[in-house]
Amino acid sequence: MTARILTNTPTSGESPEFYFGEHFRQTLWVEFVDNEYEKWIGCFQCDYPKLLNEVLVDNENKSAFVVSGGIGYLIDIKNRKLKYKTEENPLIESVILTTNPDYFIAGTFYCVYIFDNEKLIKDISADELVDGIYFKRQVDRKAVGDLASIENQFEFNLDFELDLDTFELTVDRSVITKHNDTAKKAKQDEKNSETKQSIFRRLINKMK
């Protein structure tokens, strides 16, 4: 079973097409092949195409997690159905697949979504105010990465780890990741123009 993002719009009628979203002014096309080698195409609403676009397939080859312009879709590949869709606020900025335990883990502006191959099982908010959670990889039974804190967002990121057994998120203030200034400015400009969300709005959402 495979899934991949297509760089070109597929020819209509070549494979069955299924649509995920409310409108399709801008789209992300994903090709799926199930365990019976049946191919189908998923068309996903993609309002913010310059933000994260990614597709991962779980270790049992049953489900895929598609991120289309920062919005996540948990897809049943065999039955070609949507299991879960994340909200537009907050948008997803990173996603990884873990093994033993098997999870899709997504980082947003200020919280973490954890999915098994059937559903959202946990929604975690960081203890401090953050402006981006970026998962990098799995190390043993932990998912690790770095995050941008509101306090230091223009200077450096802080390393963190998420325990895959307890779901405890721990920030390591002794290890910092310095920004690439050019990349940071481009990313900040893109986020401002595409999402039109202020830091103040995110703080209000976190406190709700």
**pLDDT tens digits for 52-75?**
999 999 988 899 999 999 999 999
Q: What's the rounded mean pLDDT across residues 98-105?
A: 96
Region for 7 from its dihedrals, namely left if φ exceeds 0, alpha if ψ lies in -120 to 50, beta otherwise:
alpha
Of the pLDDT bands very low, low, confident and very high (cuts 50, 70, 90), residue 198 is: very low
Confidence label for 152 from pLDDT (cuts 50, 70 and 90)? low
* 128 close to 122: Cβ distance less than 8 angstroms: no
The pLDDT of residue 154:
56
Residue 175 pLDDT exceeds 80: no
Over range 113-125, report the average pLDDT.
95
| Average pLDDT of the residues in 183-192 | 47
CA gap 64, 3 in Å, rounded: 8
Match 């200020």 to its residue by tokens: 110
183 phi, psi to nearest 5 deg = -65, -40
Residue 178's pLDDT band (boundaries 50, 70, 90)? low
pLDDT of 133 > 80? The answer is yes
65 with 5: CB under 8 angstroms? Answer: no
Cα–Cα distance list, 186 to 103, 190, 191, 193 (Å): 31, 6, 9, 11
Q: Is residue 208 pLDDT above 50, yes or no?
A: no
Please report the pLDDT score of residue 184 as a whole number. 46
- pTM score, whole prediction: 0.81
**pLDDT above 60 (res 113):** yes
- For residues 135-140, average pLDDT: 96
> Does residue 191 have a pLDDT over 80?
no
On the question of pLDDT at 201 being above 90, the answer is no
